[in-house]
Amino acid sequence: MDFQDFLRHKFTHVAMGEFKPGKFEAAKQLYEEAVLTYTKGFKGAYLLQEPGTDRGISIIFWESIEDMEANQNEVYQHILKKMMPLFVEPPKTVVYELVCEINPKEIDEV
């Protein structure tokens, strides 16, 4: 790793939405399908569910915006089309730049 690596920031695609009653599990399966199509630049994904509701947040980490856009291929678009009718209304989506990352310190086992 050189100094330039420290200057690069990851990007996140964040989607917040609510699914029709009882549709969260079906949406989760489609989400997992979509994430499995990601390749270059993909750095991880999280799907969060508000307990007791059908509301959720997706957070997907990318090396760059270009990588994120390149992964929105035909297969991804097909899965997204299957997911959209499960939403109460289209999710709100935003791209953020990761500007601070704090990881827990490694703890030596005793």
Q: pLDDT for 40-78, tens place per residue? A: 999 999 999 999 999 999 999 999 999 999 999 899 899
The pLDDT value given to residue 54: 97
% of the chain beyond a pLDDT of 70: 88
Angle between helices 24-35 and 74-83 (to 10 degrees): 180
pLDDT in tens, 10-24: 999 999 999 999 999
pLDDT at residue 8 in the model: 66
Rounded Cα distance, 79 and 27, in Å = 10
- Please state which architecture CATH assigns to domain 16-97: 2-Layer Sandwich (3.30)
What band does 108 get if pLDDT is binned at 50, 70 and 90? low
Note the pLDDT of residue 86: 97
pLDDT at 6: 52
* pLDDT band per the 50, 70, 90 thresholds, residue 7: low
Long-range pairs, 27-32, Cβ under 8 A, ≥24: 27/56, 27/83, 27/86, 27/87, 30/79, 30/82, 30/83, 30/86, 31/58, 31/83
pTM of the model: 0.84
Percent of the chain residues past pLDDT 90, beyond the cut: 77
